[in-house]
Amino acid sequence: MTVLMTPPRLTVPIGERDHVVGPETAPVAIVEYGDYECPFCGAAYPVVKALQKELGDNLRFAYRHFPLSQIHPHSFQAAEAAEAAGAQNRFWQMHDMLFEHQTRLGTQDLLVYASSVGAELEPFAEDLAEHRHAPRVREDFLSGVRSGVNGTPTFFVNGARHDGGYDLDSLLGVVQPYL
Beta carbon of residue 82, minimum distance to other proteins (angstroms, whole number): 18
164 binds other proteins (CB under 8 A): no
8 binds other proteins (CB under 8 A): yes
> End-to-end alpha-carbon separation of the chain, Å?
41
Of the CA atoms within 13 Å of residue 96, those in its CB half-sphere come to 9
Q: Parallel, antiparallel, or unpaired for β 28-34 and 19-21?
A: unpaired
159: left (phi over 0), alpha (psi -120 to 50) or beta: left
Site mask for other proteins (CB under 8 A), range 63-102, x = bound:
-----xxxx-------------------------------
Under rule CB under 8 A, how many of the chain's residues touch other proteins?
24
45 binds other proteins (CB under 8 A): no
Site mask for other proteins (CB under 8 A), range 51-70, x = bound:
-----------------xxx
3 binds other proteins (CB under 8 A): yes
Site mask for other proteins (CB under 8 A), range 123-162, x = bound:
------------------xx--xxxxxxxx----------
Q: Which residues make up the interface to other proteins (CB under 8 A)?
A: 1-3, 5, 8, 35, 38-41, 68-71, 141-142, 145-152
